[in-house]
């Protein structure tokens, strides 16, 4: 079963139609300091035959998504494609001027925008789960996801799996997400040291992801952004090959978001490229004031 068949089977509206419908009504205003800069790059790497990573950048609504598929062959690619397309589609609809606010805030401690992002990611989880249940060849299909949605200068962040979000501010790199892997959990409870985790054969074993269950537990966060901040979303194909200090070096040495994404992917391949690698970058200009 090809990707196009699966997408039509779950009755998803084509993303191009969604974007065209709301183009011109979803744009963010910027002041004279310039606009937010986005860049993205994905690559199959130097070992794998196919690329199971997918990403989406919707600059009109300042949304970024990275998803890394699992399940082998076409299954991982289908799962990650379902993830990014569903989240992008639902967030675009939610951001439209005529959309109603959520009837119930699933998490009262965060904003309505963050709750909308949570709903979109849960919808993606359900679609992946249902698709796998309907097709025996897709059983076990799943995906990680990390999604960041900027409203004004507040960043909504939702994630599950081992794709990561980073914040680079004032020359320092901060990881914003916690990996949902067996090894990361062993480090958290003190069974392994971080050094032992780096060489563990179980690094890629996920304990949470989109798809396996009808409802998934999601991590959620909100961050207040500032002018000069850089946000990076990436798959583990980057972080397993490139140390955080090296990532920080690239973020500090490059000035354009697309150049940053290109350099990070290039570095991962230079380090061995053992997995598909994806980097999505958002740079907020100094002095930025949202409209």
The better pLDDT of the pair 200, 210 is held by: 210
Higher pLDDT, 5 or 271: 271
| Range with top average pLDDT, 24-38, 144-158, 178-192 | 144-158
**8-27 mean pLDDT:** 39
Mean pLDDT of 133-159: 94
- Higher pLDDT pick, 151 / 20: 151
Residue 287 token pair = 């002095």
Q: Which of 102-111, 124-133, 167-176, 177-186 has the lowest mean pLDDT?
A: 102-111
| Domains, the chain | 3-283 (3.60.40.10)
- Yes or no: say if 21 and 60 are a contact pair by the CB < 8 Å rule: no
Neighbours of 64 (CB within 10 A): 27
User: What pLDDT was estimated at residue 190?
Assistant: 87
Q: Is the pLDDT of residue 17 over 70?
A: no
Task: Determine if residue 103 is left, alpha or beta; phi over 0 gives left, psi from -120 to 50 gives alpha, anything else beta.
Answer: alpha
What are the pLDDT digits (tens) for 36-79? 999 999 999 999 999 999 999 999 999 999 999 997 656 999 99
Percent pLDDT > 90 in the chain is: 71
Arithmetic mean of pLDDT over the chain: 87
> What CA–CA distance (Å, rounded) separates 153 from 62?
11
Closest alpha carbon to 219 in 275, 283, 277, 164:
164
What is the rounded distance in angstroms from the CA atom of residue 169 to the CA atom of residue 249?
12
Confidence of residue 13 (pLDDT cuts 50, 70, 90): very low
User: How far apart, in Å, are the Cα atoms of 201 and each of 45, 182, 198?
Assistant: 20, 11, 9
263 close to 96: Cβ distance less than 8 angstroms: no
The stretch 155-179 carries a mean pLDDT of 98
* R_g of the chain computed on alpha carbons: 18
Q: Which residue has the higher pLDDT, 86 or 205?
A: 86
Q: What distance in Å separates the CA atoms of residue 67 and residue 277, rounded to the nearest whole number?
A: 11
Note the helical H segments in the chain: 3-9, 15-22, 73-95, 112-134, 182-188, 194-198, 236-239, 244-253, 257-270
Give Cα separations from 156 to 37, 150, 178, 183, 270 (angstroms). Answer: 18, 6, 15, 26, 32
pLDDT at 227 over 50: yes
pLDDT at 72: 64
Locus of tokens 């054969």: 201
Among 88, 82, 72, residue whose Cα is nearest residue 10: 82
Higher per-residue confidence, 248 vs 140: 248
Q: What is the pLDDT of residue 238?
A: 98
Are the C-beta atoms of 62 and 36 separated by less than 8 Å?
A: yes
Mean pLDDT of the 214-231 span? 97
CA pair distance 45, 43, nearest whole angstrom: 5
Residue with the larger pLDDT of the pair 29 and 118? 118
Cα 21 versus chain centre, distance: 24
Residue 13: φ, ψ to 5°: -75, 140
31, pLDDT greater than 60? no
Decide: residue 130, CB within 10 A, 0-12 exposed, 13-18 middle, 19+ buried.
Answer: middle
pLDDT in tens, 72-104: 656 999 999 999 999 999 999 999 887 776 656
Which pLDDT does position 257 carry in this prediction? 98
Contact 211, 142 (CB under 8 A): yes
């Amino acid at each position: 079963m090809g990707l196009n068949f699966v997408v039509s089977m779950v009755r998803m509206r084509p993303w191009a139609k969604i974007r065209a419908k709301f183009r011109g009504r979803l744009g963010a205003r910027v002041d004279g300091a310039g606009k937010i800069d986005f860049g993205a790059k994905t690559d199959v790497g130097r070992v794998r035959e196919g690329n199971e990573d997918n990403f989406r950048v919707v600059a009109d609504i300042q949304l970024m998504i990275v998803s890394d598929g699992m399940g082998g062959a076409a299954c991982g690619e289908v799962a990650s494609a379902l993830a990014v397309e569903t989240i992008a589609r639902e967030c675009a609809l939610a951001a439209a001027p005529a959309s109603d606010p959520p009837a119930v805030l699933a998490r009262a401690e965060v904003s309505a925008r963050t709750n909308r992002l949570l709903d979109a990611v849960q919808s993606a989880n359900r679609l992946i789960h249902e698709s796998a249940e309907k097709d025996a060849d897709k059983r076990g299909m799943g995906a990680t996801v990390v999604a960041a949605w900027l409203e004004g200068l507040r960043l909504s962040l939702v994630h599950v799996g081992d794709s990561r979000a980073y914040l680079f501010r004032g020359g320092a790199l901060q990881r914003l997400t916690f990996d949902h892997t067996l090894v990361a959990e062993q480090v958290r409870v003190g069974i392994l040291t971080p050094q032992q985790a780096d060489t563990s054969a179980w690094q890629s074993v996920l304990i949470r992801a989109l798809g396996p269950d009808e409802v998934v537990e999601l991590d959620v966060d909100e961050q207040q952004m500032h002018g000069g901040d850089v946000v990076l979303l990436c798959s583990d194909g980057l972080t397993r090959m490139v140390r955080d200090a090296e990532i920080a070096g690239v973020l500090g040495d490059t000035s354009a978001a697309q150049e940053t994404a290109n350099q990070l992917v290039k570095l991962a391949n230079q380090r061995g490229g053992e997995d598909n690698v994806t980097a999505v970058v958002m740079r907020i200009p100094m002095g930025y004031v949202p409209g």
